[in-house]
Amino acid sequence: MNQNNQEDQIMTAESDQTSDFGIENAENSAMPSPLLEVKDLEVNFQSTTGVVPAVRKANLTLYRGQTVAIVGESGSGKSTLAMAIIGLLPGTGKIAGGSIKFDGRELTNLTEKEMQQVRGAQIGMVPQDPMSNLNPVWKIGFQVAEALKYNEATKGGNIHEQAMKALANAGLPDAEARSRQYPHEFSGGMRQRALIAIGLAASPKLLIADEPTSALDVTVQRRILDHLEKETKELGTSTLFITHDLGLAAERASHLVVMHRGRVVESGPAREILNDPRHPYTRRLVNAAPSLASQRIEINYSPQETEDAPDTIDSRTSADVNLAVAASKDSRQKVMGTNVLGEPLEKHLGDEVIRVEHLVKEFDIRGQKGKKKTFRAVDDVSFAVRRGSTLALVGESGSGKSTVANMILNLLDPTSGKVYYEGIDLSTLRRRQLFALCRKMQVVFQNPYGSLDPMFSVYRCIEEPLRTHHVGDRAKREKRVADLLDMVALPRSAMRRFPNELSGGQRQRVAIARALALRPELVVLDEAVSALDVLVQDQILHLLNELQGRLGLTYLFITHDLAVVRENADDIAVMEQGKLVEYGKADDIFANPQKEYTRELIEAVPGGDLLKARTGYQVE
């Protein structure tokens, strides 16, 4: 609590110091009047326990043609600030004080009818989740046309032609055909482009982009943001960009505003904040952002430093450090155990736990005939996972990586090819042996909100696999659950709580505890941190690293983001359209990628150019 109080005092002081950022500059250098000026804004929500302040004395200035990014974790107030500007506060949200001036006009005292004339026509919006913000029963073209009609942006022309032009400008190929499709027929990137078309349809003076690419692959993210930047420049539109990734914000915006607990704690030029963050919270964001951490490693990487390292190890994880020590003594760490057949087996760190050979998976497509009847999701994939190491299976959505994981977990049968666990062909196992295999291989899913049963307490969620596999009596299971909560740094009091009472990071810790309940040897992490804020993401990655070193776990880490695994992965396998296009040690792939697709994935990690402009960067 003392640290929190200290941070609050610093925040208040720095918020006061930065409350007029941009305004003083405008006065001193005779800059034009700002397009958007927020002064001492306060937003409150009414709850059963009283008034909850969501935005506290926030200040923001944005000029014509400028891009400003608001950065902060979930709950920091950044989206609430944006919704207050556009007059769309949810629920009991209410502006309790302060001023919002847009193009010299005060917005806080406008009627709803007057606000409707501003919203869309003068201030556009690109929301976060394209699937829930597009009407599933309306065709895409109709939804764009509705935006044009509602905002009176037709200018007497053909509304259908203008809708097609808006979709084409948003980067959708064959706009005429795409306009006749429904949202579920679009990919995530295409849906986001449709929302950009709607947001820019009326050529607004200001566009608010609220986490517009948080659910997209890094390569798609780059293409979407490049196109958004091009469109706004051509239209002369100012952009208010909201994100939790400081590296992404610094790359895309000229000015950063950092929010924490409803307050603006730091603001200024993007490069200045990235190079010299003053506030403790901003420093935490800089150090936790996976994109920036990945680029720091890339900048500091020196091939000469690793030339003398043993070929089979990478010293980043505790497990591999132990292996290196054992190797230097001409011996290998070993432990006696049993395989899935119950036979005794001597196990060594560095041995192959999983081997995948020529794996193929084909799916039948309903309604198709001939060659188009089948879709090959996985095409001749082979790789191995070493005991005590982390293999990152990387690729864009649809590349086949999750399908490979499902076949390894025996949730899907391969069309052809083999999966071996400790040298045993999984296709030869009987039902009872496959059930025993579940104790050795566990999975942590992407969404911590959907992977836990909301009707089960935390205790019941973690205890369920123990009960299913008849491990121990009630007292022993309760002790095991308590030990697991300690292991993932959750208080034992959380045992009686329910998932909806926990934050996203706490839920993912519960999911990890559940996966470790049966003492597995292999844990499959399927996009296990992609739905989390960067600070929570950083905590979970450090927890996984610590558990791997302590328990000798083997990880198969599935992700579309190379930045996330840069600090943790020992080996990387890159998949594209069902094929394995590159496979090797993490440092080798980052230092010298052989395939253009891999280079695109690495180059799509934001923040590289910003950090490379610096010299002598030291990670705190």
φ, ψ at 479 (rounded to 5°): -65, -40
DSSP code for 414: -
Q: How high is the pLDDT of residue 22?
A: 41
Task: Say what percent of the chain tops pLDDT 90.
Answer: 38
Give the chain's residues under pLDDT 70.
Answer: 1-31, 153-157, 215, 290-348, 366-372, 531, 607-620
Q: How high is the pLDDT of residue 63?
A: 93
- Note the Cα 26 to chain centre separation in Å: 37
How far apart are the two ends of the chain, measured CA to CA in Å? 23
State the CATH class of domain 320-604: alpha beta
Would you tell me how many other CB atoms lie within 10 Å of the CB of residue 618? 6
The residues, any chain, with a CB within 8 Å of residue 527's CB and separated by 6 or more, are 445, 446, 558, 559, 560
Q: Which two tokens stand for residue 136?
A: 């599933």
Q: 308-362 pLDDT, tens per residue?
A: 333 332 333 333 433 433 333 334 456 556 666 666 666 667 789 999 999 999 9
Q: Which of 163, 70, 85 is nearest to 119 (CA)?
A: 85
What residue type is 179 in one-letter code? S
Angle at 449 between CA 264 and CA 52, to 5 degrees: 35
Q: How high is the pLDDT of residue 474?
A: 92
Please say whether the beta carbons of 58 and 262 come within 8 A. yes
Q: How high is the pLDDT of residue 33?
A: 87
Assessment of whether the complete model's pTM goes beyond 0.85: no
